[in-house]
Structure 1
Amino acid sequence: MSVSGPQAMRALDDALRDIRREEDEITRRIARANERVGKLRETELGQLRALAAVRLSPDVQNELAGPLSQAESRARDMLKEHATEMAGMEKALAEQEAQLTRLASERHALLEEASEHQARIDALGGAVSAALSADAAYGALLSRRTEAQGVADEAARKAEQAEADREEKGRPYRDDTLFMYLWQRGYGTSAYKAGNIVRLLDQWVARLIRFADMRPNYSMLTAIPDRLREHAERLAAELIDLDDATAERENAALDAAGGADARAALAAAQERVDAIDADMLAAEDAREELTERQKLLADGGDPAMGKAVDLLAGAISDTRIEKLLEEARATRTEEDDAIVLRIEETRRRISEERAELEDERARLKTLELRRRELEDIEFEFKTSHYDDPRSRFDEKQLVGDLLTDFLKGGMTAAAYWAMWRNSQGWSGSSGPIVPSAPPRTRSSSKTGKGGKFPPMPGGFSPRPPSGGGFSRPRGGGFGGGGFKTGGGFKGGGFKTGGGF
């Protein structure tokens, strides 16, 4: 039994929510443990004061009571302030998580709505194909486009080869220090400027290395790839114009067959999904920032918590009570022995709390890694349009045991993503409802076995920040920014002998 794209997307969303919930819970446990350490320090201080009451003279007790009591009072106020700030942070995180849940639910609903619109478009396939087959202008456009695609592909191939030659064949020139010295000074060109003595020396060097013979060769080696790349880009731009013209006639045929409303609705759904993806990315980044601040607060990284603990620790170390503790252990006085036992028990509990804190910190670090990897996978999932209603996965355990194995660290993120790619295929008409790239890119792609698109090279890429200068477009499993109202109909599934 296969798993649909939307079902898989929900499973990944649920897993992310579970991880974030567990992160929040561990962070809260760390906060509570740090608070317990602070209170245990406070208890220890009181027990040491009790020991002082037994062992010290009244004058010394009065001398110690002031600073110790002040330290306790100030630390207690600081810990209360810390607890209030933690509560506010937890509320903000809960609101951010609720927003992400709402956006994800709306996105899933839009995908299902888009599937219905696409079904209406697919139902008009026969009429649209017949109209386009009878359209001589459309046939001419397809022929021109096929020819232009071949020319553009060849130009791109030549540009890539020239760039590879520039790198490989240009290396001996770049490794020649004397040649590069003269080249960078512009020797032999109008850009060359030098005094008489330097000019004489440069002439001598040029004759020595035969620079006059080498410069034209290196100049061609560096210039030709740029000219070829410019030519390839011009051809690619012409191909875009042909794509737009072809898509315009395709959409006109669809509208004439009664598909205008469905196409407009599909475009509107796409626009909303793009907006949701942008909102989700910003919300995830905002939540990440809140999470980092919460973890800092929870682990004693804020000034209030740090000062409270330092204040108590300083009050203890600055007194003479530690000497009393040593003396009490050496006596047989029952009263001070009981206090010593209580102090030792308090310090044992502090040690246990600290050990537990280290374990929780390690678990939190592992969870952070898994969550970020899963966010990267989900980003690629959307970018590849694997959450499209037409997307199918043969391996249902990808949302079961394999997902659990990945989350437990049993496999790498790259291996888990490769399983998604290898299992994915399309049902119904080939491809997603809304293509993941403009028609010019799709039409030059070769599909693999079973109608699958070729896997994305190099595993998966980290999810970009919402406001950063990342070069890739933010993915939208439904549209990904590649759909154009005037050119998106190509993914509708009509095959008439061209790119349609």
Structure 2
Amino acid sequence: MSIRGPQALASLEEAMGDIRREEDELSKRLARSAERVTKIKESEAELFRQLAQLRLDPAMQGELDGRISSAEAKARDMLKDHARDVGAAEQALSDLDARRAALIEKRTEAVARLDEQQKKLDALTASLRGQLAGDAEFQAKKSQTEELDRVAEQSMRKTELAETDREEKGRPYRDDPLFMYLWDAGYGTSSYKAGNLTRYFDAMVANLIGFQKARPNYAMLNEIPLRLREHAERQEQLVQEAEAELAALEVAAVDGAGGKPIRQAIAAAQAEIERLDADILAAEDQRDAAAGRLQELADGKDPAFETATAELAAALGREDIQTLLAAARQTRTGQDDTIVAQIDDARTRLREEDEEGRELRERLKTLAARRRELEDIQWEFKKQRFDDPTSSFKEDRLVGDLLDQFLRGGISAASYWDQWRRSQNWAPGSEWGAGYKSTRQSRSNAGSNPWPPSGGGFNWPDGSFGGGGSGSRKSRPSGGFGGSWGGGSSSGGGGFSRPRTGSSGTRKHGGFKTGGGF
């Protein structure tokens, strides 16, 4: 069963919400654990005071009690401050979550409006098929554009073959150190500069390896691809100019049929989606920073709190304290045994809290990495316009079993995203569904900006206008992550193009283009 683009993105967003909720819950548990550790140490300090009263003379009791009480009081004050700071950090995180949720809701509404307007444009363009089929100017321009596109495609194919020849047939030349020495020196050309003695020996080498005969062949291997690529790029420019002229005729036809308000509504929806995507990015980065701050507090990384708890731990770890405890263990009195047992119990609970804290920190680290990877995937999803209403995915396991595997770490972010790309399809008649434009885009811009040129054609429902140059050319370009795939890395940012520049990042590409290819 297939799943449409907007629903697929909504499923990813739901998974993102689950990750964030679990992150927040673990951070709160870790914060409470840090507070419990401090309270257990305070309880341990009170037990040592009681033990001192039983076993030490008053002077020594007072000295020990003073050291412990000072550290204990400082830790208690810091604990109150720490709890207040944790509460403030939790509230900040909650506020950012609410802001992001509101932005997501607005974006969903904007996409729905865009879908509605695109359907209106589709209906209008369908009604214009007959009109443009009989429009001599339009048909002539369409035929010219398709012919230019055919020529440009052939030019690029020849260029690629020549570049392959340059790589394969030029390898024996490049592997010959003597040939490359003379080539790099410019031997046999006006750029060759050498003294008499060097010229003498270079001539001997040239005669030995037949350089004078080989040099023109190697020069030709290098020169032909350069000239062919220049020609192909000129042909590509002609295609783009013809497309712009064809698009102007399409726009005039649609506007003449009353479609201008629809185009304007589509452009407005697109602009809103772009703005909301930038706001969502900023909110996510702000939340990431706030979550990091909460995790630091939860982990007891506040400098004042760390100092206070360290001083209390040092006070309880002094040699005289340990000597007092050792002496109490060696004697068998009811009161001593009770206090020693309580101290042992407190230390057992401390070890348990420390172990739980380590587990929570590891889980938080994993969740943070997975969240950032999912943010990267969502970014690429929108950048490639996969959330467009005309986009769908034939594999619904992407939001089921495969999503679960990714969240559990069973598959990498790279692998998961690749399966999204391979499963994606465009609806028939969409701007990526057919026609010469998708082929030209693939030929001239593969792996970079996935959008068609701003003056592109319409989504003619039967593919008969604004495209249809060759029935075999129907594949949308599928660039990697921003045109550069980072291999199999599952770590956030490994080849992903999502900017992570604090709250100031903006999207260079992405969002929706006007329905009908405007």
TM-score by length of 1: 0.83
Which digits, 9 at most, give the CA deviation of each residue in 1:367-414, with x for residues without a partner? 234323332332333234332234445555544555445434455545
User: Mean Cα displacement is larger for which, 142-151 or 422-431?
Assistant: 422-431
Query: Which of 446, 451, 470 is matched with 1:437 structurally?
Result: 451
Q: Counterpart of 1:383?
A: 383
Query: Which of 461, 465, 469 is matched with 2:499 structurally?
Result: 465
Cα distance between partner residues in 2 of 1:379 and 1:448:
31
Q: Counterpart of 2:163?
A: 163
Cα distance between partner residues in 2 of 1:228 and 1:73:
81
| Residue 188 of structure 1: how far off its partner (Å) | 4.8
Q: Aligned to 1:320, what secondary structure does the other structure show?
A: helix
Shift in alpha-carbon separation, 1:250–1:303, aligned structure 2, 3 A: same
Shift in alpha-carbon separation, 1:339–1:126, aligned structure 2, 3 A: closer
| Residue 53 of structure 1: how far off its partner (Å) | 2.6
Q: Which has the bigger relative contact order, CA under 8 A and spacing at least 6?
A: 1
- For 1:97-496, what aligned pairs fall within 5 Å after superposition? 97-193=97-193, 206=206, 209-393=209-393, 396=396, 398-400=398-400, 403-409=403-409, 411-413=411-413, 416-417=416-417, 420-421=420-421, 424-425=424-425, 429-430=429-430, 437-438=451-452, 462-465=496-499, 467=501, 473-476=508-511, 479=512, 483=513, 489-490=516-517
Cα distance between partner residues in 2 of 1:70 and 1:446:
85
Cα distance between partner residues in 2 of 1:65 and 1:119:
80
Q: How many residues align?
A: 481
User: Mean Cα displacement is larger for which, 255-264 or 29-38?
Assistant: 29-38
Q: Indicate conservation of the 8 Å contact 1:67/1:315, yes or no.
A: yes
Amino acid corresponding to residue 289 of structure 2 in structure 1: E
Cα distance between partner residues in 2 of 1:300 and 1:178:
66
Q: Indicate conservation of the 8 Å contact 2:278/2:505, yes or no.
A: no
Cα distance between partner residues in 2 of 1:78 and 1:205:
82
Shift in alpha-carbon separation, 1:216–1:413, aligned structure 2, 3 A: same
Amino acid corresponding to residue 259 of structure 2 in structure 1: G
User: Mean Cα displacement is larger for which, 453-462 or 378-387?
Assistant: 453-462
Q: Counterpart of 1:21?
A: 21
- For 1:78-89, what aligned pairs fall within 5 Å after superposition? 78-89=78-89
Q: Indicate conservation of the 8 Å contact 2:5/2:387, yes or no.
A: yes
Q: Counterpart of 1:51?
A: 51
Which digits, 9 at most, give the CA deviation of each residue in 1:229-277, with x for residues without a partner? 3332222222111111111110110010111111111111111111212
| Residue 417 of structure 1: how far off its partner (Å) | 4.4
User: Mean Cα displacement is larger for which, 27-36 or 460-469?
Assistant: 460-469
Amino acid corresponding to residue 496 of structure 2 in structure 1: P
Q: Indicate conservation of the 8 Å contact 2:122/2:516, yes or no.
A: no
Q: Counterpart of 1:496?
A: none
Which digits, 9 at most, give the CA deviation of each residue in 1:71-127, with x for residues without a partner? 222233333333333233222222222222111111111111112212222222344
Q: Aligned to 1:438, what secondary structure does the other structure show?
A: coil
What residue ranges of structure 1 are gaps of 5+ in the alignment? 492-500
Cα distance between partner residues in 2 of 1:398 and 1:447:
30
Say yes or no: does 1:77 pair with 2:91: no
User: Mean Cα displacement is larger for which, 261-270 or 387-396?
Assistant: 387-396
Cα distance between partner residues in 2 of 1:293 and 1:174:
55
Which digits, 9 at most, give the CA deviation of each residue in 1:289-309, with x for residues without a partner? 332333233223332333233
Cα distance between partner residues in 1 of 2:59 and 2:477:
85
Amino acid corresponding to residue 67 of structure 1 in structure 2: R
Which digits, 9 at most, give the CA deviation of each residue in 1:200-257, with x for residues without a partner? 6655555555544444444443443333333322222221111111111101100101
Cα distance between partner residues in 1 of 2:143 and 2:94:
57
Cα distance between partner residues in 1 of 2:173 and 2:147:
39
Cα distance between partner residues in 1 of 2:34 and 2:467:
60
Q: Aligned to 2:496, what secondary structure does the other structure show?
A: coil
Cα distance between partner residues in 2 of 1:37 and 1:130:
79
Q: Indicate conservation of the 8 Å contact 2:278/2:506, yes or no.
A: no
Which digits, 9 at most, give the CA deviation of each residue in 1:306-333, with x for residues without a partner? 3233222222223411111112111102
Cα distance between partner residues in 2 of 1:423 and 1:23:
30
Cα distance between partner residues in 2 of 1:196 and 1:290:
72
Q: Indicate conservation of the 8 Å contact 1:278/1:474, yes or no.
A: no
Q: Aligned to 1:80, what secondary structure does the other structure show?
A: helix
Q: Aligned to 2:301, what secondary structure does the other structure show?
A: coil
Shift in alpha-carbon separation, 1:104–1:52, aligned structure 2, 3 A: same
